[in-house]
Amino acid sequence: MATCPSGHESASNDFCDVCGMLIGAAPLGDAGQASASPVSAGPAPASADPGAPGEPCPRCGAARAGQFCESCGYDFSTAPDAPPPTMPPPAGPVPPAGPVPPAGPVPSSAAAPQPEPQPQSQPQSQAQPQAQPQSQAQPQSQAQPQSQAQPQSQAQPQSQAAAPPGTDWSAVVTADRDYYDSVRAAAGPDAAGIGFPAYCPERRFRLSGTEVRVGRRSVSRGIDPEIDLTGPPADPGVSRLHMVLIETPDGTWSVVDPGSENGTLVNGNEIPQGEAVPLHDGDRIHLGAWTALTITRGG
């Protein structure tokens, strides 16, 4: 706790909380003269004048006993020369300001006006019973959205029932002789060593998840596709990761060729690499030398 030159105890270390005087003046020199003050040149702060005791506070009307109002904490140094403004009549009963402390030095504990305005807490305590009916009305307001949400919850099975039947998709893998003949004719003599399989059973793969990889398993490269065309019989024209089937948000599927060596055809047309091509029920995908995938829905 600091002490100002007038003997007041102040919680602030720069200016006195009671009279506003500068705290920590420079000590006297060897010749008995006061050393230069560290305060910059200019008019003295208005708070240096403690003012006349008993002056009414322009904010609450309480009698003045120091620089700050003992009731509301108003700083009288803000306008020391201005006459106190005429306060309008209060809208309601004004709580008593309490006994006015005698003029003179005020203890440092009075400089903190926070605990003084206790009468203000009384209207708050009186307002609590009024807030209780509001809290009782809250369950009623909460019950309204619940009653409104019931038809919505009943409407959900209707929206699910409106979904088209047969949402399951499958890929049927077979050997296509016509496609093999067209590949061999286009490749020329280089395709003479590729033979059409004497027996290739039909295989059906159910499409599940968000991605289905199609290719040939490779332990060394860590490739284990969901539709493994390793064989037997093995199609030498199928890449390790030849294509990827991707599920779309509307429940359908599309195909992407990430960069196979021999390309991918959808309904006889080669698709560009890296581009997703939508698929429909009954579309045929050709890859390798003789492999064909037929996309079916609901089977």
* CA-wise closest residue to 242 among 268, 272, 270, 264: 264
SS3 268: coil
Residue 282 and residue 197 in one domain: yes
* 154 or 220, greater pLDDT: 220
pLDDT digits (tens, 9 = 90+) for 23-61: 765 443 444 343 334 434 444 444 444 456 677 888 888
The answer to whether 69 and 106 are in contact (CB under 8 A) is: no
Residue 173 and residue 292 in one domain: yes
Q: Specify the pLDDT at position 93.
A: 57
For position 214, which CATH number holds? 2.60.200.20
pLDDT digits (tens, 9 = 90+) for 1-13: 778 777 778 777 7
Residue 95 and residue 5 in one domain: yes
Q: Indicate the pTM of the whole model.
A: 0.46
Beta strands in the chain (DSSP E): 2-3, 9-10, 169-175, 203-207, 211-215, 227-228, 241-247, 253-256, 264-266, 269-270, 277-278, 284-287, 291-297
Residue 99 and residue 6 in one domain: yes
Query: Is residue 82 very low, low, confident or very high in pLDDT (cuts 50, 70, 90)?
Result: very low
The answer to whether 110 and 10 are in contact (CB under 8 A) is: no
SS3 169: strand
Task: Give the chain's mean pLDDT.
Answer: 72
Residue 163 lies in a domain: no
From 53, 84, 119, give the residue that closes a domain.
Answer: 119
From 59, 84, 119, give the residue that closes a domain.
Answer: 119
Residue 94 and residue 202 in one domain: no
Number of domains in the chain: 2
The arithmetic mean of pLDDT across residues 142-148, rounded, is 46
* 113 or 3, greater pLDDT: 3
Q: Specify the pLDDT at position 95.
A: 54
Residue 199 and residue 81 in one domain: no
* 147 or 70, greater pLDDT: 70
* 257 or 123, greater pLDDT: 257
Which range in 163-172, 174-183, 189-198 is most confidently predicted, on average pLDDT?
A: 174-183
Give 3-state DSSP helix, strand, coil % of the chain, rounded to 5: 25, 20, 55
Residue 134 lies in a domain: no
From 78, 101, 119, give the residue that closes a domain.
Answer: 119
* 78 or 150, greater pLDDT: 78
Residue 94 and residue 190 in one domain: no
Residue 260 lies in a domain: yes
Query: Is residue 169 very low, low, confident or very high in pLDDT (cuts 50, 70, 90)?
Result: very high
* 276 or 8, greater pLDDT: 276
Residue 99 and residue 202 in one domain: no
Q: Specify the pLDDT at position 298.
A: 82
Residue 82 lies in a domain: yes
Q: Residue 108's domain spans which residues?
A: 1-29+40-119
Query: Is residue 259 very low, low, confident or very high in pLDDT (cuts 50, 70, 90)?
Result: very high
Q: Specify the pLDDT at position 142.
A: 47
Q: Which residue has the tokens 């067209």?
A: 182
Share of the chain above pLDDT 90, in %: 35
Q: Specify the pLDDT at position 79.
A: 53
Q: What are the phi and psi torsion angles at 140 (to 5°)?
A: -65, -40
Residue 94 and residue 196 in one domain: no
Q: Specify the pLDDT at position 16.
A: 77
Residue 183 and residue 273 in one domain: yes
Residue 216 and residue 99 in one domain: no
Residue 86 lies in a domain: yes
Lowest mean pLDDT among 132-146, 156-170, 215-229: 132-146
Residue 293 and residue 174 in one domain: yes
Query: Is residue 98 very low, low, confident or very high in pLDDT (cuts 50, 70, 90)?
Result: low
Residue 142 lies in a domain: no
* 181 or 121, greater pLDDT: 181
Residue 5 lies in a domain: yes
The arithmetic mean of pLDDT across residues 154-167, rounded, is 43
Residue 148 lies in a domain: no
